[in-house]
Structure 1
Amino acid sequence: MTLDIRRPLPRGPAWIPPGVYEPQQDTWLLARAIRREGITTGTDVLDLGTGSGVLALEAARLGARVTAVDISWRAVLTTRVNALLSGQSISVRRGDLATAVAGASFDLVVSNPPYVPSPVGGSPRGAARAWDAGWDGRLLLDRVCDAATALLRPQGSLLVVHSGLCGVEDTLSRLSGAGLVPTVADRVLIPFGRVLRSRLPWLRQRGLPADDMVEELVVVRAVRA
């Protein structure tokens, strides 16, 4: 059974230019998980790969002090503009994931990294940087998992969303190996989007579950003990 979890976020960003990831069902799923985290005015939140800033702004509305990071100058500008339009104060930095906040630690780290498996190996270019992530979809995901321990304060949490095509057990194992305690916090089935539909022959050749044209999205939550 597929579920439609789209829900407009209150006073959401008004500007999403071409080349910046447009919020989709993975965004809403992760936003739902953020709202369960009990954020208060004393919570420090890091949004890795912020895109349009939707998740950073959601955390800010809940009272958090938010730092948003993206490697794309266009995404950084978009997030700054949307923060202004939304009347929220967040710190937006350009950088390559955790390198932009070296030495800092947070109560909550959230990330919706690119995770779509791609027949083109290596780092994607152009607009595809917002979704393509190497042949197994883990090009950025593994880096987020590896950086999480150093980014989190004791009892801090990581929330990361990705496709089941990337290997949920791989994510759980990697986080456990980094000393965190991971669980699956949420999951939902959605129809294949345009990009995955265009890659059906390749996905089937790799033996990935593409016959039913349904993708599982998963939010993994990991706690630093």
Structure 2
Amino acid sequence: MNACTATLVRRRPLVTLPGVYTPQDDTRLLLHALYREGVGPGTELLDLGTGSGALALGAARCGAHVTAVDIAWRAVFTTWINARLARLPLTVRRSDLATAVRGRTFDLFVSNPPYVPAPGVSLPRGAARAWDAGCDGRLLIDRICDLAPAALRPGGVLLMVHSGLCGASDTLSRLGRAGLRAEISDRTRIPFGPVLRSRLSWLRSTGLPHGAGGGAGQLVELTEELVIIRAERPRASAPY
């Protein structure tokens, strides 16, 4: 059993300060997808929106050189604490999306961004910044799609998780227009959590839950599909 596989089997509890996203089903789904990419010594990896650092630590255990980034100071501090406790070398930075990728390229770019549709036009505050993502859930997803090509080396891969409520086909199309080969690599379905349950009336009124069991506005099963988007930057064509 290698270190990467062992990480999945022996899940050590992580420190999560108040207001920092606790690893859940979406984190585990993305971690499995990350390990399939053959992460190892020499892999340069960016974990954008690192939260507790679960993905960054998993990659570091495989020997990757990891840069973990978050806009929230509490998340940055949480990841730093978890890295110290695990005795793993990580570069942890507080940064916004654009600054995190400016002037650097990576072999692997992973992100579990906020993706929960939220009513209103104001930006989320406090703990809600970890999940609320505008009225269509794409507040950061679209920005990641636009920035990913410049952040990836030839042959580099973006792995991003989001809800089926946000329109996976829209993400695939946007990444394709940006020059990446994109596909859905993983799917799973989970029960609605407390946040989505609290917004059932609003979700029905918007028609967003077309992928959540039943037709638009017909939330029969109250389940949410999570997907992993895998997008690869093509390698340069060999000269004739």
TM over 0.5: yes
1:12-23 maps to which residues of 2 (within 5 A)? 12=12, 14-23=14-23
Equivalent residues, number: 219
CA distance in 2, matches of 1:179, 1:116: 26
For 2:149, the equivalent position in structure 1 comes to 149
RMSD (Å), alpha carbons:
1.3
Ranked by relative contact order (alpha carbons within 8 Å, sequence separation 6 or more), the top structure is 1
Return the alpha-carbon distance in structure 1 between the equivalents of residues 69 and 21 of structure 2: 14
CA positional deviation for 1:100: 2.6
Structure 2 residue aligned with 1:164: 164
Distance 1:36 1:73, change over 3 A: same
Deviation at 1:121, TM superposition (A): 1.8
Distance 1:202 1:208, change over 3 A: same
Deviation at 1:10, TM superposition (A): 3.5
Q: Which residue in 1 is equivalent to 2:237?
A: none
> Unmatched 5+ residue regions in structure 2?
1-6, 213-218, 235-240
Match of 1:119 in 2: 119
- Please give the TM-score of this superposition, normalised by the length of structure 2: 0.88
Deviations 1:188-222 (A, max 9, x none): 01000010000000111111225120100000000
Residues of 2 paired with 1:23 and 1:145: CA distance?
A: 23
TM-aligned CA deviation for residue 126 of structure 1: 1.2
Of all paired residues, the percent bearing the same amino acid is 64
Shift of 1:13: 5.0
In structure 1, list runs of 5 or more residues that go unmatched. 1-6
Cα distance in 1 for residues equivalent to 2:201 and 2:101: 40
Task: Tell me which residue corresponds to 2:216.
Answer: none
**Residue 128 of structure 1 aligns to which amino acid in structure 2?**
A
**Are residue 47 (structure 1) and residue 47 (structure 2) matched?**
yes
Is 1:188 matched with 2:183?
no
Aligned position for 2:197: 197
Q: TM-score, normalised by structure 1?
A: 0.94
- The SS at the match of 2:208 is coil
